Amino acid sequence: MVTFLNEKGEEVDSELFGAIDINQIYAIIKEEKDLILDNFYIHALSISSYRRINGIEKKELVPIKGFSAKNAFFEAKGCTDLTYCSFSQSEVSFDGSHFAKGKVLFNGSIFGKGNVVLSNTLFRDGNIEFTGCVFGDGDFLFKNSIIKDGIKDFQDIQFGNGEVSFANTEFNSGELLFINTHFNNGRFNFKVTRITGGKVDFHYSVFGDCEIMFERTEFGNSRVDFRTVDFGSGRINFNRSLFGHGEVNFEGASCKAGKIQFKKAEMGFGTKNFNLMEMGDTDISFERTEFGDGDVSFYNSTFHSISLKSCHLDHYVDLRVAKANMLDISDTIVRDIIDIEPYDFPVEIRTLDMSGMRLLGKLYIDWGHNKCNAAIQNQEGTTLRQKAEQFRILKENFSSTGKYEDEDEAYIMFKRFEAKSWLTEQQEKGGIAKIASHIPNGFQWLVFDKIGLYATSPGRVLLSVVVFWFFFGSLYFLIDLSGLGKTVSAVGNPDKLSTLLQSFYHSAITFFTIGYGDVYPIGASRIVSGLEGFMGVFMMSYFTVAFVRKVLR
């Protein structure tokens, strides 16, 4: 009869177990019979002691034909020792068992093709070891169990192709170690698992083509380490996971293909390290993730696509990825710095989506090196108006960071896409609006865009001045040849200018509104002169605006 007491020493429950002498257990093992310990009380079970009694080498495997210890009660002064056992192909079950005292050791044991069940178990000591175990293709089920504070060691394990499930298990605090563990093509389920604090370490682990579930896992204030993990080619789910105030480290992790999702995950203090990840064929999503305090870094990582859509980015975010087909930072609220500008290696982002961004901080990005123009135009799911808005965001950002040449480039693209968007909207209305819209659009295209690049290029305006001067000079000459008008020298043409040269001279003094009066127009040339005078005033004003804009910056 085992009586259970609460913390105050008051009796809360009692349970009747079968009793068996440890030597009887050793005799059953030696005779290679099935060892059935369901509902038994077992004291000081030790396979190491069995080896000493029977003269077996320390790490020589002890065969156990069949094993079941459902709803059993284990206790030992030191440890319950099931190390270096070779279990048969049938199911091995500790379902509902209670490990009351001492460590629990399974180091180096080999399990057959049957399921290994430790669900609904309670480990009061909190120190369990499965280091170096090998499992067959059956399921390894550790669901709904409670493990108190201590070291939970699952290092160097070889799992088969069955399901590995720790769903709804409470690990409390301490160290949870899966270092260098190999998970094959089964399903890995860590869903709704709860960890209070300490360290969660998966680094150097390898997954096959399996689904990996960390959905709604509570990591507590643990240091979470997934460095250099090979996630295989399955689907990885960290949705709604809760990371506490420890460091989150995925540096050097890789994935052959598939998806990694952190949607609506929550993180606390500490750095979030996603550097040097090798996931060229993988889509990774942090949509609506709360990154908490601390910097976030994706430095020199490679993804097929990466999404931080609808995130609040309140601290420094390093998005200098080595390569990504798509970077989605749409609908984000940026209060600090997002760094995309390359320094010591190229940053190759084919498509950049910033639609709906609220940029309260700064975006470190380079128009040329980051190929901003192509990155925004490559977007497939955004409208012309949304693309225009993204160029506007870049324009204002470049202005605040003092990159004025880049600001001009972004401003030009903003105005162009704004014009295209307006024309498209008018075209959709149909009727007269559809036809009439081409007039203001054409004027804007010629005068604002082609002549001066929206007052960003004084050189382009000067070149346009030369073009207009040449055009009007040629027009005067053609009018003279046609007999519809001509330019006349009021001083008798002392320089003996030809008709062609006199036409270009008259064009120059009219365009620049000099007005010497030595050459005047008659006939149709009068109308052209009036038009040219207006164009001259307009173009010189245009040049002044563009030039002063450059000088003032």
Q: Return the pLDDT at 412.
A: 94
Query: What's the pLDDT score for residue 117?
Result: 97
Span 145-165, mean pLDDT? Answer: 96
pLDDT, tens digit (0-9, with 9 covering 90-100), for 88-130: 888 999 999 999 999 999 999 999 999 999 999 999 999 999 9
Mean pLDDT (whole number) for 49-54? 94
Q: Give me the pLDDT at residue 329, please.
A: 96
The identity of residue 162, as a single letter, is: G
Closest CA to 379 of 353, 344, 360: 353
Average pLDDT in the chain: 93
- CATH code of 458-552, in short, is 1.10.287.70
Tokens of 459: 């050189």
Q: How do the domains of the chain map onto residue ranges?
A: 1-225, 234-376, 458-552
Residues constituting the chain: 553
Measure the CA–CA gap between 306 and 250, rounded to whole angstroms: 15
The whole-number pLDDT of residue 395 equals 95
pLDDT given for residue 432 in this prediction: 83
Question: What does the pLDDT read at residue 87?
Answer: 94
- Which helix (H) or strand (E) segment holds residue 26: the answer is helix 22-30
Q: Which two tokens stand for residue 547?
A: 């030039």
CB distance 117 to 93 below 8 Å? yes
**pLDDT confidence bin for 277, thresholds 50/70/90:** very high
- Report pLDDT for 56: 92
Reported as a single tens digit per residue, the pLDDT across 56-99 is 998 899 999 899 999 999 999 999 999 999 998 889 999 999 99
Q: What is the pLDDT of residues 179-198, one digit of tens each?
A: 999 998 889 999 999 999 99
Q: In the structure, what pLDDT confidence band is assigned to residue 174 with cuts at 50, 70 and 90?
A: very high
DSSP 474-530: HHHHHHHHHTSEEEEETT--TT---HHHHHHHHHHHHHTT---SSEEEEEHHHHHHH
* Cα→Cα distances 303→28, 190, 298, 446, Å: 56, 25, 10, 42
CATH class of 1-225: mainly beta
pLDDT of residue 173: 95
Write the pLDDT tens digit of every residue in 484-529. 988 888 877 777 788 899 899 999 999 988 878 888 889 999 999 9
The 10s digit of each residue's pLDDT in 206-227 is 999 889 999 999 999 999 999 9
Residue 553: pLDDT over 80: no
Instruction: Scan for tokens 């990154």, then name that residue.
Output: 291
pLDDT at position 257 over 90: no
Residue-level pLDDT at 89: 86
Q: Distance (Å, rounded) from C-alpha 374 to C-alpha 364?
A: 17
End-to-end CA distance of the chain: 88
pLDDT (0 to 100) of residue 483 = 87
pLDDT score recorded for residue 551:
84
As a whole number, mean pLDDT of residues 166-191 equals 95
428-470, pLDDT tens digit by residue? 888 887 888 888 889 889 888 999 899 889 999 999 999 999 9
- C-beta separation of 359 from 397 below 8 A: yes
Q: Is the pLDDT of residue 6 over 90?
A: no
Please state the φ and ψ torsions of residue 21, each to the nearest 5 degrees: -75, 145
* pLDDT score recorded for residue 418: 94
Q: Which residues contact 1 (CB under 8 A, 6 or more apart)?
A: 14, 15, 16, 17
User: How sure is the predictor about 478, in pLDDT bands with cuts at 50, 70 and 90?
Assistant: very high
Q: CA-to-CA distance for 423 and 170, rounded, in angstroms? A: 61
Query: 392: buried, middle or exposed (CB in 10 Å: 19+, 13-18, 0-12)?
Result: middle
The yes-or-no verdict on residue 406 having pLDDT over 90 is yes
pLDDT tens figures, 368-389: 999 999 999 999 989 999 999 9
Check residues 344 and 310 and name the one with the higher pLDDT. 310
**Mean pLDDT across the stretch 334-341?**
95
Q: Given this model, what pLDDT does residue 494 score?
A: 72
Residue 134 and residue 157 in contact, taking contact as beta carbons nearer than 8 Å: yes
pLDDT tens digits for range 414-425: 999 999 999 998
pLDDT at 170 over 90: yes
Three-state DSSP class for 40? strand
